[in-house]
Amino acid sequence: MIRQAELRPDGGAIVWQDETITYGELDRVTNRLAAMFRESGCQPGDRIGIAIVKSPAAIICMIAALKADCVYVPIDTESPASRIRKIIESCRPVWIMTDAKGAKRVDDSLMNVAIDNTIQIQIGSVGALPVVGNRLNTLFCFSELENYPDIAIPGTRQPDDAAHILFTSGSTGTPKGVVITHQNVTSFVDWGVNYFGIDETDRVSGHAPLHFDLSTFDIYGTFAAGAELHPVEPEMNLLPQKLAQFIRERQLTQWFSVPSILNYLMKFDVVDDGDFPSLKRLMWCGEVLPVPTLIYFMQKLPLVEFTNLYGPTEATIASSYYTMPACPASETETTPIGVACDGEELSIRNERLETVAPGEIGDLFIGGVGLSPGYWEDLEKTASVFFPGPGGLDTQNRIYKTGDLARLREDGQIEFLGRADTQIKSRGYRIELGEIETALVSLPYLDESAIVAIDTDGFENKVICCAYVVQPELNVSPARIRADLLQLIPQYMLPADWLTFDMLPKNANGKIHRPRLRELFSLKRNPDASKKVKALD
């Protein structure tokens, strides 16, 4: 971005609603905010929380944190207060930048935290006025930035230093902080900008939430190329016609999102034949794109290139790619996740970490330049999935167990075969089913509960289902459970289907019979078989 500010200061960097922020303006405002962070006492490596809805202000805070040699932590303002509190307690930010909505969430999250003894937090507002809360005391507003110099301050950051921490779902109920370094990001950005041919003439979508790893490439890939970033307002995800119109009116040339939004656009058939004439490439990552959806888009947009990207947050953005050579001939074809991006290494191994023969199913491992150092201040969890590797591209010789199953095809492409554990992808979100179960355990009126996920042909990819047993003589509805769960987990984790039991089915070992539960939920969702489970509903 600094280079673009020197080369083309008047070029558009961020286009938001009716406003365009140039590279020169973006450079100056982030310099001023970085100076404020430094003057307030921020030291290299300090964490700065960003509890702001997706907007230019949030991106400004992210870049300014990096310029101040700090580590930014995006905080989802849609998350419940209890989850935000866990993130704050874990990363211990010295600053939290907020807007009105984020301030309310952060304030609620701090109600039961002994800030004076355990966490010292300064609060900044991106608005012109202080944010208001019971525990918050705004020390800085954006309106004060003119008091700080707009020249760059000397930086000390190194390639292996942390750039940001992304908190993802954890099976124990505590979010996991994935540490991402400067080198992790620049390695993929350099490859991606070159492979996708992005330059200053491009107009790039910013669809992913800022706490999603996909947004990392949206932002830094765009700025590295000197292109325009067009963040998509979250409300558009509920309005497929407006989202399609957004792509047309903004004349986007590059689109990058999770598949669920593409399923949504197809469901409402809002894409015309030959639509989006400026669009050059459509990319997706985060979950499997159903082949019918892929065929729909490839037939509607015959001049667009389509690329499937694969990679978990622990590998920064993506580790492999596959560009479609042609539209699938039938809906039964599978789309591989392809081959490793430059500097990355994918391997399929058995339980002894030995590579398996082509065609054999095994655990998918990732190594190379995109690999995260591990989880924030959690050596045990890091050691459980990051292993010393037998060799490869990574200079530190480490490999990460993704938890995915895969096999190497005869044509050299890797085929993804699903999860090997209880982690799923639904609507683009990575969700640990165990985190939902942990939250259910805390509800005093439940005797038993279990969470399973079943496949769906809809845009969700997976439907989360809850089976539960209520304590005797209590009358608790799914609506009551949903409301209480919403105080503990984000809305995107809430189960969509419910079954109540006198006792959950068990297998021969006395454990909850999850295959049976999946069968019952599948029957319940099938109108032709609904009578078979009516007694259980």
Count, residues in the chain: 537
Boundaries of domain holding 115: 22-157
Residues 312 and 402 in one domain: yes
- DSSP H or E segment with residue 492: none
- DSSP H or E segment with residue 19: strand 19-22
Q: Say what the pTM is.
A: 0.86
- DSSP H or E segment with residue 203: strand 203-206
Residues 414 and 434 in one domain: no
Q: Domain containing 526 — which CATH number?
A: 3.30.300.30
| Residue 159 confidence (pLDDT) | 95
Instruction: Name the range with the highest mean pLDDT among 70-84, 121-135, 461-475.
Output: 70-84
Which residues on neighbouring strands pair with residue 138, listed in sequence order? Answer: 123
CB 433 within 8 A of CB 422: yes
| pLDDT reading at 316 higher than 60 | yes
- More reliable by pLDDT, 11 or 129: 11
Tokens representing 80? 């419940």
Nearest to 316 by CA among 282, 367, 388: 367
CA distance 495 to 390: 41
Q: Domain containing 26 — which CATH number?
A: 3.40.50.980
How many domains would you assign to the chain?
3
Tokens representing 38? 């430094």
Chosen domain end from 394, 419, 444: 419
| Residue 288 confidence (pLDDT) | 85
16 is a domain residue: no
Which residues on neighbouring strands pair with residue 375, listed in sequence order? Answer: 178
Chosen domain end from 364, 387, 419: 419
% helix / strand / coil in the chain, to the nearest 5? Answer: 35, 25, 40
DSSP secondary structure string for all residues of 411-450: TS-EEEEEESSSEEEETTEEEEHHHHHHHHHT-TTEEEEE
125 is a domain residue: yes
Torsion from C-alpha of 444, 449, 453, 458, nearest 10 degrees = -60
Residues 406 and 524 in one domain: no
Report the pLDDT averaged over residues 79-106.
90
| Average pLDDT score, the chain | 89
What would the pLDDT profile of 269-286 be if each residue is shown by its tens digit? 999 999 999 999 999 998
Report the pLDDT averaged over residues 382-388.
94
Tokens representing 399? 């490999």
- DSSP H or E segment with residue 516: helix 514-525
Residues 247 and 356 in one domain: yes
**CA max distance for the chain:** 72
Lowest mean pLDDT among 107-116, 195-204, 231-240, 371-380: 107-116
178 is a domain residue: no
Residues 432 and 413 in one domain: no
103 is a domain residue: yes
108 is a domain residue: yes
SS3 176: strand
Residues 392 and 434 in one domain: no
Instruction: Name the range with the highest mean pLDDT among 126-130, 340-344, 424-428, 441-445.
Output: 340-344
| pLDDT reading at 459 higher than 90 | no
First vs last C-alpha separation in the chain: 56
Chosen domain end from 379, 400, 419: 419
Residues 221 and 130 in one domain: no
Residues 327 and 412 in one domain: yes
240 is a domain residue: yes
CA distance 34 to 38: 6
Binned at pLDDT 50, 70 and 90, residue 117 comes out as very low
| Residue 442 confidence (pLDDT) | 82
Residues 202 and 149 in one domain: no
Binned at pLDDT 50, 70 and 90, residue 536 comes out as very low
13 is a domain residue: no
Report the pLDDT averaged over residues 23-30.
96
What would the pLDDT profile of 138-186 be if each residue is shown by its tens digit? 888 898 999 999 999 998 899 999 999 999 887 666 889 999 999 999 9
| Residue 537 confidence (pLDDT) | 39
Report the pLDDT averaged over residues 216-234.
97
CA distance 220 to 18: 22
| Residue 394 confidence (pLDDT) | 46
Residues 404 and 291 in one domain: yes
Residues 153 and 196 in one domain: no
- DSSP H or E segment with residue 206: strand 203-206
CA distance 415 to 398: 22
Residues 504 and 526 in one domain: yes
Report the pLDDT averaged over residues 12-31.
96
CA distance 361 to 398: 21
Q: Domain containing 391 — which CATH number?
A: 3.40.50.12780
